[in-house]
Chain A
Amino acid sequence: MNLPLLSVENLSVSLDAGAASVPLVRNVSFSIDRGETLCLVGESGCGKSLTALAIIGLLNREVMQVSSGRILFEGRDLISLGAGEMRRLRGDRIAIVFQEPMTSLNPVQRIGRQIAEVIVEHRGVSEADALKQVLRLLDLVRIPDAARRAQEFPHQLSGGMRQRVMIAMALALQPALLIADEPTTALDVTIQAQVLTLIDDLRREFDTSVLLITHDLGVVAEMADRVVVLYAGSVAEQADVDDLFDRPVHPYTRGLLGAIRQLNSGSRDRLAEIPGNVPNPVSLDAGCAFRKRCASAMPICHSERPPLQGDGLHRSACWLAKVGEEVMA
């Protein structure tokens, strides 16, 4: 078996709040193979974006730090890389697309120049050559009338077009890994469908791996090969996408899946709820983070955090699964 392109091992990220340090991501592990799409799903504050920022080395170092774990990318540990090496890697081998493209584009520079700059900086080609490549890239992300669009400023484009520009910029150097952090959340549904189709087509064409971060299980169902469900900074469940949708184990995953199925079924019965709220990371104790919202919480859930267990492909962090196994055995 080949080495995976990216493997995150026991990653923990913590926030330094004064004297105390608050873990926001705890012991997260997953890996992505070449040409594969892995979805990191979870609600706001579950640590999914922090995980992405940790991979790409863009954590705000004044307040956040990787407290343990390794991030192996093409055999190198990204955490031990220096800032300069990391910068060379970023954009070149790993590219990222954020939710709100407007904040990542320079508002006073024409978009053609912005994309060309990335190519010039990393490949050392002349600006004229780079601009030629830019037109090809804009065509690739299906921006009509590329030559004219390249001369425009970001505010002249719609949200969907800007996200295409971001994708073009991310793909400029044919990275091995594309990280997309909620790339379609700010977009309308019809535009979301366009952008998702585009990302999937490009992944196929260039054999790029995609780490897609989203809160939307619909997007997961459309895009993922494998899924990691995060809850309160830890992995709740991870599995192949079909397996996860067919046989969710963790009560949280079940609740989320139930909610979207019911909403889309056309039924108007009362929705099954996950009661309560996401816990504050400061208040997490030794027990299972989900137990206060869980209908099947047992005594052990209050005292001990369930380990991630299961077969190699489908693993979940829930005592119920453990009990189920023992009953079966």
Chain B
Amino acid sequence: MTIITTSDATSSEDGEKRNTSSDRFRRIIAFPLRQPMLAASCGLLFAFSVLALASPWITGDPAALDPLGRLKAPSADQPFGTDQVGRSVLDRALWGTRVSLSVGISVAMVTTMIGVAIGVVAGYFRAIDTIAMRAMDAVMAIPAILLAIALVALIGASPFVIVTAIAVPEIPRMARVVRASVLTLRERAYVEAAITCGGRTTTILRRHILPGAAGPIMVQTTYVFASAMILESILSFLGAGTPPDVPSWGNMMSEGRQFLQIAPWILGFPALMLAATVLAANLMGDALRDMLDPSLQGGELR
């Protein structure tokens, strides 16, 4: 007969130790092993953020021209080569990280705040639901790029306008995700219990509904973050985004396009960096979704 004696026996009758600090420490150590995808994507995004923050100190002036060293292929001296006016592609790509990440983060924040507000209100207050969601459908019916270009063309390219132009088409998607989870959460017995316990609507939303919807919100936020960076590059590439003098990945690709045949590195390196960042963000979203979706988890002892 097998007899199991484990130190962390979870008898429900007598007191047991859990959540001790060593336990927590062990969990942090084990994290990359259990969630390799999440850990790797988090690591990559973290590295990009550090590069973005540190770029003023680790790179030279991204606007410094070198008329003699134009269109130089990657070498030990210039690992990413130089562009048509002799600027270092590496320096500019690193500066571009700042633009991309800050647009991505701002859009993600704006979208999350507004989208969550709309989604929660629509999901919890049935009277507002239909109107709010039809308005969201209307916004979703307009292609995101066109809407963004129209907004930029109308108001002009400033960081605020670019963030707004990218965030507006993303908001309905966020609102939908949030509304869907609020709709299921408000039917939960513990939310009903909170109502009968005299909770104010704000308390119920804050304590019981929002924490329950946090998972899907986080996942959607990472997707918004990724698609905002792509959209920003597209806008810049089309000349409707970041002003041309700012070294953003989109601007670099736009300029590099003319020299694709003779100097593919001008377009290639920023494109690779964009792809890597977006991929990391999407992988993080997928890993978060898998981790937070209880239906995808294996059988656990209850």
Q: Do chains A and B touch in the complex (CB under 8 A)?
A: yes
* With contact pairs A23-B4, A26-B1, A285-B3 given, residues A63 and B299 touching in the complex (Cβ less than 8 Å): yes
User: Once the chains are docked, how many angstroms separate the CA of A285 from the CA of B11?
Assistant: 11
Q: Assess whether A283 is in contact with B299, with CB atoms less than 8 Å apart.
A: no
Residues on the B chain within 8 Å of A57, using CB: none
Task: Tell yes or no: B13 within 8 A of A by CB.
Answer: yes
Which chain A residues in 45-69 approach chain B with CB under 8 Å? Answer: 60, 62-63, 67
Q: Assess whether A283 is in contact with B3, with CB atoms less than 8 Å apart.
A: no
* With contact pairs A22-B301, A60-B299 given, residues A283 and B2 touching in the complex (Cβ less than 8 Å): no
Which chain A residues in 286-329 approach chain B with CB under 8 Å? Answer: 286, 292, 305
Q: A269-284 toward B: CB 8 Å interface, digit per residue (1/0)?
A: 0000000110111111
Residues on the B chain within 8 Å of A23, using CB: 1-2, 4
Q: Assess whether A280 is in contact with B11, with CB atoms less than 8 Å apart.
A: yes
Q: Assess whether A283 is in contact with B1, with CB atoms less than 8 Å apart.
A: no
Task: Tell yes or no: A128 within 8 A of B by CB.
Answer: no
User: Once the chains are docked, how many angstroms separate the CA of A209 from the CA of B148?
Assistant: 71
Task: Tell yes or no: A29 within 8 A of B by CB.
Answer: no
The bracket for how many chain A residues form the interface is 20 to 34
Residues on the A chain within 8 Å of B11, using CB: 279-280, 283
**How many chain B residues touch A (Cβ–Cβ < 8 Å)?**
14
Q: Assess whether A280 is in contact with B5, with CB atoms less than 8 Å apart.
A: no
Q: Assess whether B4 is in contact with A22, with CB atoms less than 8 Å apart.
A: yes
Q: B1-24 toward A: CB 8 Å interface, digit per residue (1/0)?
A: 111111001111100000000000
Q: Assess whether A282 is in contact with B1, with CB atoms less than 8 Å apart.
A: no
Task: Tell yes or no: B298 within 8 A of A by CB.
Answer: yes
User: Once the chains are docked, how many angstroms separate the CA of A156 from the CA of B248?
Assistant: 60
B298 contact from A63, A277, A282, Cβ within 8 A:
A63
User: Once the chains are docked, how many angstroms separate the CA of A14 from the CA of B1?
Assistant: 11
Residues on the A chain within 8 Å of B4, using CB: 20-23, 282, 284
Residues on the A chain within 8 Å of B299, using CB: 15, 60, 63
* A14, closest chain B residue (CB): B2
- Report the minimal beta-carbon distance from A28 to chain B, rounded to whole angstroms: 12
Residues on the B chain within 8 Å of A285, using CB: 3, 5
- Report the minimal beta-carbon distance from A84 to chain B, rounded to whole angstroms: 25
A–B complex contacts, Cβ < 8 Å, 6 sampled = A20-B6, A23-B1, A276-B13, A282-B301, A284-B4, A285-B5
